Amino acid sequence: MGIKDIVNRDVVNIDNCESEPIHIPGSIQPHGFLLAIDKNTHVILYCSANVREFLDRELKDVLGKRFHDLFDCEDELKLENYAAGNEFNDSRPFQCHFNKVGYDTLVHLSGDLLILEFEQHPEKMPELPNLYIQMQKFVNELQRTTTLKELCQSISEEIRHVTGYDRVMIYRFDKDYNGEIFAEAKRDDLEGFLGLHYPHTDIPVQARMLYLQNPLRIIADVDYIPSPIYTIVDGADNQSLHLGNAMLRSVSPIHIEYLKNMGVGATLTISLINDGKLWGLVACHHYSKKELPHFLRHTALLEGNFLSSQIKVREASEKFELSKEIDSRLQEVLKVFNSTENIEEYIRHHVLSALVGADGFAIIHNGRLYRQGIVPPDEELLKLVRFLHSYDKPELITDNLIAVYPNAREIVQYAAGLMFFSINKLKNDCVIWFRTEIEKTINWAGEPDKAIIKDQKGLSPRKSFAIWKQIVKEHSRIWDDIEINAAIKCVFALQKQFTIVDARKEEEKQRKLTEQLQAVNEELSNLNWIGSHDLKEPLRKIQVFASRMLDKERYSLADGTTDLIERIRRSAERMQLLIDDILRYTRLSNVESHFSGIDLNRLMQEVMSDLDNAIEEKNAVIEIGPLPVIKGILFQVRQLFINLVGNAIKFSRPDEACVIKINSTEVSINGQDHFKITVSDNGIGFDKKYEDAVFKVFQRLNDASVYQGTGIGLAICKKIMEIHHGSIEAASVEGVGAEFFVYFPINN
């Protein structure tokens, strides 16, 4: 039978400690011994060399034997029952005996192996804490302490009382896993470590992973000589036996050197876990060797588990208290925002910086700057705002502005940190809270940049743990999540109130415009009255008198006088027609929109009847296809088609018979169905560039002496279509003809 050890002999130094396989050292601490047995046959496949000291047996008398060859059959049966029930619970170790010596045996499964770690019962069992009394203490501490820090301090004192270690520390990690001594209980003669910081390199990544996997770790003597593990398994090496969950697992030589440099003789470490992450550690130090019995270790672990259960609760409680305080301030601000008409006046006279514990506050709104407290000078502030608005995101929250803004050193005394929220990038509108620089001193246990030292022996952990003070400048106090949320709520409230104020201003502006329009409309009504009475009556008389003179005095008048009188009559007639068209145009929008169903087929017959003289005079041919029933204002729609058909007749070519076609189809415009009515002719047409201009008031494209009209008819058509929520378009080729398209919404 070939027996060999599985010790990991890879050279471990500070260069490769981050990747050191600390879970497979192939050796254990010698204050207990280890066996690894096949979980089915109970044949011993691995054992530690110090089995000689504990069992007085040689390796050849242990390896390859079954468990009951060394221990009582009754113990093997108990082990089978223990393993069958998967009761691998460190709080209830497996009990066995050898040569009347009792052992507390920790059992866990590693692949197909049962790992058994044997530690002798102490000769004199210490007095174990009563569980009821222990729980009563937990409840008392829960009620007595109000903050997480107070609870940590109480737990550190209780663990030291139970375990007897010289020093017990609660070690808390930051987001980068740098550590801080958050609470401490110690011998009176020892130097205090409370408040000291330790770099993340002190606890490598793989060590932190094992602390998550195995929450309890003990080193009984830093000067121990590792006991190698031997095996009879062919081809086995250190990787064959995973000891990540083993209490006796040998410790990294780098860590041992680190502890020796601190002057520590023994340690107990308990993991503090919050939301599945390593929040911190309970680190117990003794300045000589110290073996702690199993049950005392687990009493300390129970204390650590209790603390872990309270971390989230206490942190949430402290945040809640801060949140209540800030929310109370916020509600006062929002109450005023919702009741004031002059938000700028409020900002000028109320300290919004106090809302989130800022030193200064500034807001730019509608091009005006309002400032409170400690704020950079206006010129520097506006430079900063322009820079912040150039950022990709509409907000920036930082406690180290210099890391972001190139010119920050010029304003660091005003703004080492800030919370910036853009309101309107185009107008440079924004809200900013400022915090001034806080010069902070961090006490490190040794200089963090020299956590690793180089000497003639190579690289090793630092030997000095003397306090090294780091002065941190150009930073402000960190913005808390609750403060950030309150600031965001305040910004939203400001935006809402600004919108309301702007809307009220716009409403007032529109009200004044409406009043002005009403006054103008009243004046226009007066003009309409004047047009319909004072202007039309003199024109009527001019036409009457001119007609009489032409009828009675035509032959007695001098040559040329008859022509002058006729021109006067025609001018008066055109002016009256113009006044009628203007009045018709201005009255369109004053008509109440009383829509009803209109059969365009019947309406078009009425239009033909109204225009029969003009149709007969031009020998016009009117071709009317099937037309729909629309909803509209009857007299306006009649006027629309009288104007369109009348224009087609008026602008016909003298050398060609006038042909007018009227037809209908259905089309969709922007998702809305419309009736499209087309009126086309073969008249003189007009240049394509005038297709939009023809609908303007007084827009004439032809000689007034040849084609009579006022230039208002098509403008009236456009106005009618606007009233009917439709539209009108024109298309023409000069000398060929014109087409007019009117669109009536279906189901208007």
Q: Is residue 469 part of a domain?
A: no
Residues 464-505 have pLDDT tens digits of 455 544 455 678 888 888 888 888 887 887 777 777 777 777
Express each pLDDT in 671-720 by its tens digit: 889 999 999 999 888 888 888 878 875 455 554 444 454 457 788 888 88
pLDDT over 80 (residue 526): no
What is the C-alpha separation between 622 and 6, in angstroms, rounded? 112
Q: Residue 493 belongs to what domain range?
A: 481-590
Shared domain for 628 and 720, answered yes or no, is: yes
As a 3-state breakdown, the chain gives helix, strand, coil percent values, each rounded to 5, of 40, 25, 35
Q: Is residue 255 part of a domain?
A: yes
Q: What pLDDT score does 269 carry?
A: 92
CATH, residue 218:
3.30.450.40
More confident of the two residues 556 and 724: 724
Instruction: Select the more confidently predicted residue: 569 or 205.
Output: 205
CATH code (residue 383): 3.30.450.270
Residue with tokens 């192939």, as numbered in its chain: 26
State which amino acid sits at residue 15.
D
Whether 299 has a pLDDT exceeding 60, the answer reads yes
Q: Would you tell me how many other CB atoms lie within 10 Å of the CB of residue 62?
A: 22
pLDDT of residue 230: 92
**pLDDT, average across residues 223-244:** 88
User: 684 by DSSP, 3-state: which?
Assistant: coil
| More confidently predicted of 466 and 391 | 391
| Torsion sign across C-alpha atoms 197, 203, 204, 206 | negative
For residues 139 and 286, membership in a common domain is answered with yes
Residue 601 has pLDDT above 60, yes or no: yes
619 Cβ contact partners less than 8 Å away, ≥ 6 residues apart: 657, 658
pLDDT at 260 over 60: yes
395 and 526 in a single domain? The answer is no
**For residue 539, pLDDT beyond 80:** no
Are 305 and 214 found together in one domain? Answer: yes
Start-to-end Cα distance in the chain? 102
pLDDT at 693: 77
What integer pLDDT is reported at residue 538 of this predicted model? 67
pLDDT at residue 550, as a whole number: 65
Do 541 and 598 lie in a common domain?
no
482 or 19, which is more confident: 482
612-630: pLDDT as tens digits? 888 888 888 999 999 999 9
The CATH number assigned to the domain holding 91 equals 3.30.450.20
Is 502 among the domain residues? yes
Question: How many domains is the chain built from?
Answer: 5
Tell me what pLDDT residue 406 has: 83
- Which of 43-57, 250-264, 551-565 shows the lowest per-residue confidence on average (mean pLDDT)? 551-565
The answer to whether residue 175 is domain-embedded is yes
| % the chain with pLDDT above 90 | 17
What is the mean pLDDT of the segment spanning 379-393?
A: 85
Statement: residue 220 has pLDDT above 90: yes
Q: Quick one: what percent of the chain has pLDDT higher than 70?
A: 75
Mean per-residue pLDDT, 419-436: 85
pLDDT at 90: 62
Please state the separation of Cα 637 from the chain's center in Å.
Answer: 56
Q: Given this model, what pLDDT does residue 30 score? A: 93
> What average pLDDT does the chain have?
78
Residue 528's pLDDT is 59
* Residue 363 shares a structural domain with residue 315: no
Q: Which of 138-152, 256-270, 723-737 has the lowest mean pLDDT?
A: 138-152
The more confidently predicted of residues 590 and 114 is 114
527 domain-assigned = yes
* pLDDT above 90: residue 34: yes
The verdict on 585 and 622 lying in the same domain is no
Exposed e or buried b per residue across 534-563, where buried means at least 16 C-beta atoms within 10 angstroms of its C-beta: eebeebeebbeebeebeeeeeeeeeeeebe
Going by pLDDT thresholds of 50, 70 and 90, the confidence category of residue 521 is: low
- Of 557, 590, 623, the last residue of a domain is 590
Does residue 535 form part of some domain?
yes
Last residue of a domain, one of 544, 575, 590: 590
**pTM to 2 decimals?**
0.56
What pLDDT does 525 receive? 59
Please report the pLDDT score of residue 462 as a whole number.
47
**How far is it, in rounded angstroms, from Cα 358 to Cα 276?**
34
Mean pLDDT of 407-436: 84
Q: Are 563 and 694 part of one and the same domain?
A: no
What is the pLDDT at residue 303?
87
Same domain for 82 and 39 = yes
In a domain, 447, yes or no: no
- Look at residue 467 and tell me if it is in a domain: no
Indicate the range of 220-234, 438-452, 641-655 predicted with least confidence. Answer: 438-452
Q: What is the DSSP secondary structure assignment for residue 432, as one 8-state letter?
A: E
pLDDT tops 50 at residue 368: yes
> Domain boundary residue among 120, 144, 167?
120
Looking at the structure, do residues 620 and 691 belong to the same domain, yes or no?
Answer: yes
Average pLDDT rounded to a whole number, residues 212-235: 90
Q: What is the pLDDT of residue 87?
A: 55
The CATH code of the domain that includes 718 is: 3.30.565.10
Does 272 lie in the same domain as 345? no
Binned at pLDDT 50, 70 and 90, residue 188 comes out as: very high
Determine the average pLDDT of the residues in 318-322.
72
Q: Are both 599 and 584 inside the same structural domain?
A: no
